[in-house]
Amino acid sequence: MKSLESLPRELDRREFLGLCAGAVVGSGGIASGLEEVDDFPDPATGPGEGWSMVVFPDTQNYAKFAKNQANFKLMTRWVADHVGAWNLKLGLHVGDFVEQNDIAVGGGRGWGDQNSAEQWASAKRAMSVLDGVLPVVCATGNHDYGERNAEDRRTRFNNHFGLTDNPLVCDGQGGGIWRESPPNVRGARTLENAAYVVDVPGKRKLLVISLEWGPRKAVVDWARELLTRPEFSGHLGLLLVHSYMHDDNRREGQRDRPGNPHHYGTGKGGDTHDGEDLWKALVQPSKQIKLVISGHVMGRHVGYRVDTNTRGTEVHQMLFNAQGLGGGSDEKGNGGDGWLRLITFLPDGQSIQVRTFSPLRLAQGKDPWLRGPGHAFRIRLGSRE
């Protein structure tokens, strides 16, 4: 795969699209390239066709500073108010709800002024706006574990995001999109790892599998077995995991770089999976998984590639993050400029439009769309098989 690392951070349109034509070629696959989206609908009315999902990037920089916390709630409020206009069927959060999972005082020195209890409470306040309004699937990130950064697998996530908190996820009576969860590291069945089925317009249901930070072997084995079950064989599969690929379009593990799950305390002993591990063990052998969505990585904050699975069909893999935008990750920043990713599935069942939108910038009277390569593009799913 062609590397983007040696290129400047800001690429013009022709450069980026030319690179993607080579970068998205997978082993045995055919590059589909990236066709840029140049139509941006009125945010209040939506695209007027198809159905959409919304992706929240890493949101720890909203949580760790008191001044930024309202910005995250503004984002979820906009989503709640526009479920109908955008025909939203699902929300996704790529993980890193907080900067530090278990500290008694704010991190200081650009690491925030909120302790962990305050950070988790702010994340819950924002996300609870969507309870009963939109089902949301969450991954967990490295900062959601340990004391500060995945030193171990203790987490406060489960204290704030319970199985039945959002009745559209699970109402405790058989309703909701949740289907099952394997035991976490402490033997509890939580939303750290889960499978969901979403009824969406079209002929196929959507099967979403969310995995914990640096998934353990037992979790990957569970997901792989689940994908072999007949009841899920005809579904469109989506994998949500915090760490999977870099902003140079390579998967984690294709070369050694900081941020790989193997480099953290949770990776000691080898019971963890990076992006390349997940590709080989779970994604490539699966006939259902056609989309992989992750966060974690800064730099350009975005990445995209296509590879062919063992059946010869394309798997679209994308990175979306925004935590360093809006002034940076320290006290000068606003948390991430309010950016969301809106992914619209068109009525033909194969065409997808990807756009990046900011309710915060809309409220500030600024252009709410992040335009250009990597932020607004079209992709096309392959055949049903």
Percentages helix, strand, coil for the chain, rounded to the nearest 5? 20, 20, 60
129-173 confidence digits (pLDDT tens)? 999 999 999 999 999 999 999 999 999 999 999 999 999 999 999
Edge-first strand order for the sheet with 194-198 is: 178-180, 194-198, 206-210, 236-240, 289-294, 314-320, 302-308
Return the pLDDT at 118.
98
Q: H/E element holding 60?
A: helix 60-63
Return the pLDDT at 107.
82
For 312-329, give the DSSP string.
S-EEEEEEE--TT-SS-S
Low-confidence ranges of the chain (pLDDT < 50): 1-32
Q: Any idea what DSSP says for residue 250?
A: P
CB 343 within 8 A of CB 353: yes
- Residue spans of the domains in the chain: they are 50-341+352-380
The encoded tokens of residue 178 equal 């949740």
Return the pLDDT at 8.
30
Return the pLDDT at 39.
94
Give the CA distances from residue 199 to residues 24, 161, 178, 233, 235, in Å, rounded to whole numbers and listed in that order. 30, 23, 12, 15, 10
| pTM for this prediction | 0.92
Q: H/E element holding 208?
A: strand 206-210
Give the contacts of 203 (CB within 8 A, at least 6 positions apart). 349
Return the pLDDT at 20.
44
Query: CA 87: distance to chain centroid?
Result: 19
61-78 confidence digits (pLDDT tens)? 999 999 999 999 999 999
Return the pLDDT at 33.
58
The region, left, alpha or beta by phi > 0 then psi within -120 to 50, assigned to residue 81 is alpha
Give the residue from 330, 238, 368 showing the smallest Cα distance to 292: 238
Return the pLDDT at 384.
54
CB 81 within 8 A of CB 42: no
Return the pLDDT at 120.
99
Edge-first strand order for the sheet with 351-357 is: 35-36, 377-380, 351-357, 340-345, 51-56, 88-93, 136-138
Topology of the domain comprising 50-341+352-380: Purple Acid Phosphatase; chain A, domain 2 (3.60.21)
Task: Name the H helices within 87-233.
Answer: 116-128, 157-160, 217-227
What is the Cα–Cα distance from 239 to 187, expressed in whole angstroms?
22
Return the pLDDT at 21.
38
Give 214's Cβ-side CA count (13 Å radius): 26
Identify the residue whose tokens are 């939303």: 191
Return the pLDDT at 31.
32
